[in-house]
């Protein structure tokens, strides 16, 4: 837990042409957003960049200066297009080479003769980085300062995140409640705007939904103070009733 | 079609706390990546930012200076958290207010008395912007110079994209072929790296797959020159056979 009341922030950097070309749909950003919330960390920005060293370096340096944590996905495999480890070393001005601890992991994992030069690239780790355990396919991720470098394959990304989550110091957990009703967004907008003005500490988002024949609006309220959140929710429900709607706790029934 | 041989680039800017909080999984980036490819435009970067004016302004200005086109999603509804239109005006230094042409669209759409002050916010359009048609729920998107401002709800985002796609001048279409085999990435990596060195104009990506009991690697090759692409693919297939694998055109069978 970080110091009392501090808001802890994070950014996600997705690295890979396959996401930008539409070949692959990123799933890691959504996963980490939810997990970070549970740990009291707010994902504040995300970027997707190509497999181009200068772009990775620029994005990492912009994000690590601005947020408490940065998580990257992708580009740490054995092929020529896997350039993330070297780009991270470059962003921090660190030397990088095949490191003995990472090599030992790979040597224990592969059958004799199978640890090719290409696979050995996965042991390229910047000096001073700590390794992130990969319980699925062995080749490790790594952490340098506030930057966590992880694989893009979702199962491995998740396993690596779980390996290092105890190193993440969260802030005050963000409590969240969702109130749905059949009222359209355009009718709720004015009372909601007035409510937001009086509750500057409660983040209020409005999300219209369309599900089959049902439509309406879900309002999401988020705050670190439970009493303030309860109070804002109570006022919102009263406004919905006053407008002739029926407030429903949670998302609309499917 | 843009000038011969020019590579046309685009960026996507997703605006909204709901994506970063994990409440909603973005679907628009993946959609537009695929559609832009078909139009000969390469999605070169994507960012997700919060509903915070300064962050939207900074991201729009960074991206519009760098890429041929910028597409934004989210934040153009009627509620207090919908601040995209005003942020875009601010990014371009344009005046913004309720505009008569957009107001006329909304007046024609809503029943008398239903065009509330909140809904009228959806007619806030920067001076000089051209409107983007919204065949689903009427409230328009808009375009300022190379920036296309669209809704976040996926069905509306897609409809708006189709409304304006004839205004997008693509470059040379990027041809793509995928070759899969049961060879693991670590065995293919070396011949692939050598092939990439000899075909600098062919973008080669390597993607391991795990499907049930099947695993292996898909290699994606992309190039604007069909003959060069064919030649690179033929060499790759020969390498796979030489390593004892069976090359398969396309993704691995499901």
According to DSSP, residue A35 is labeled H
B50 → closest Cβ in A21, A44, A118: A44
Whether the CB of A64 is below 8 Å from some CB of chain B: the reply is no
pLDDT of B1 above 80 = no
Residues β-bridged to residue B45 = A49, B11
Q: Which residues of A touch B55 (CB under 8 A)?
A: 45
First-to-last alpha carbon distance for chain A, in angstroms, is 36
Instruction: Record the tokens describing residue B209, joined without a space.
Output: 């797959």
Q: Number of CB pairs < 8 Å for A and B?
A: 177
Pick the CATH number of B175-249 from 3.40.50.300, 3.30.70.260, 3.40.50.1000, 3.90.1150.10: 3.30.70.260
Q: Do B116 and A77 touch (CB under 8 A)?
A: no
Confidence of residue B4 (pLDDT cuts 50, 70, 90): low
Q: What whole-number distance in Å separates Cα of residue B182 and Cα of residue B116?
A: 60
ipTM: 0.91
- Nearest partner of A67 among B50, B191, B239, judged by Cα: B50
CB contact under 8 A, A37 and B21: yes
CATH superfamily of B8-167: MoaB/Mog-like domain (3.40.980.10)
CA distance A156 to A150: 8
CA-based nearest distance B93→chain A, Å: 24
A12 neighbors A73 (Cβ within 8 angstroms): yes
Q: Running DSSP on this structure, what letter comes out for residue B200?
A: T
Domain positions in chain B are 8-167, 175-249
Question: Distance between CA atoms of B45 and B9, rounded to whole angstroms?
Answer: 9
User: Is residue A254 over pLDDT 80?
Assistant: no
Nearest to B165 by CA among B6, B4, B40: B40
Q: Which residue from B30, B44, B81 is facing A206, i.e. has the nearest CB?
A: B81
The per-residue pLDDT for A219 is 96
Residue A95: both structure tokens together = 């030397």
Interface of B with A in 171-210 (CB under 8 A): 176, 185-190, 192-193, 196, 203-208, 210
pLDDT in tens, B143-197: 999 999 999 999 999 999 999 999 999 988 889 999 999 999 889 999 999 999 9
Instruction: Identify the three-state secondary structure at position B16.
Output: coil
The neighbour count for residue B116, using CB atoms within 10 Å, is 16
Residue pLDDT, tens place only, A189-215? 999 999 999 999 999 999 988 777 778
Q: Which residue has the tokens 């949670």?
A: A250
Average of pLDDT values for A76-95? 96
Scanning every residue of chain B, which has its alpha carbon at the shortest distance from the alpha carbon of A46? B48
Q: Give B37-68 pLDDT, tens digit per residue.
A: 889 999 999 999 999 999 999 999 999 999 99
pLDDT band at A33 (very low <50, low <70, confident <90, very high): very high
* Lookup result for tokens 């994506």: B19
Helix segments in B67-133, DSSP class H: 84-92, 100-109, 117-120
Exposed/middle/buried for residue B183 (C-beta within 10 Å: 0-12, 13-18, 19+): buried
Contacting residues of A for B17, CB less than 8 Å apart: 203, 205
Through-space distance between the first and last CA atoms of chain B, rounded to whole angstroms: 36
| Percent of chain B whose pLDDT exceeds 70 | 97
Are domains B8-167 and B175-249 of this chain identical in fold? no
Average pLDDT of A10-39? 93
**Distance between CA atoms of B198 and A45, rounded to whole angstroms?**
38
**How many C-beta atoms surround the C-beta of residue B167 within 10 A?**
11
Q: Closest-CA residue in chain B for A56? A: B45
């Amino acid at each position: 837990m970080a110091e009392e009341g501090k808001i802890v922030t994070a950014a996600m950097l997705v690295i890979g042409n396959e996401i930008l070309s539409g070949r692959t749909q990123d799933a890691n950003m959504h996963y980490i957003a939810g997990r970070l919330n549970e740990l009291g960390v707010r994902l504040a920005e995300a970027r997707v960049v190509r497999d181009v060293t200068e772009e990775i370096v620029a994005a990492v340096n912009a994000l690590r200066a601005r947020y408490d944590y940065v998580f990257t996905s992708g580009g740490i495999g054995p092929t020529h297009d896997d350039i993330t480890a070297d780009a991270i070393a470059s962003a921090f001005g660190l030397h990088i080479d095949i490191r003995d601890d990472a090599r030992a992991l790979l040597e224990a994992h592969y059958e004799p003769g199978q640890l090719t030069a290409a696979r050995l690239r996965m042991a390229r780790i910047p000096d001073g980085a700590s390794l992130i355990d990969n319980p699925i396919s062995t080749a490790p991720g790594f952490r340098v300062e506030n930057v966590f470098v992880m694989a893009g394959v979702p199962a491995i990304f998740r396993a690596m995140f779980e390996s290092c989550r105890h190193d993440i110091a969260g802030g005050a957990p963000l409590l969240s409640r969702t109130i749905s009703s059949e009222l359209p967004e355009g009718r709720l907008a004015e009372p909601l705007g007035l409510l937001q003005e009086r509750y500057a500490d409660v983040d209020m988002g409005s999300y219209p939904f369309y599900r089959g024949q049902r439509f309406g609006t879900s309002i999401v309220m988020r705050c670190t103070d439970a009493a303030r959140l309860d109070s804002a929710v109570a006022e919102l429900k009263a406004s919905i009733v006053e407008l002739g709607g029926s407030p429903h706790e949670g998302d609309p029934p499917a």
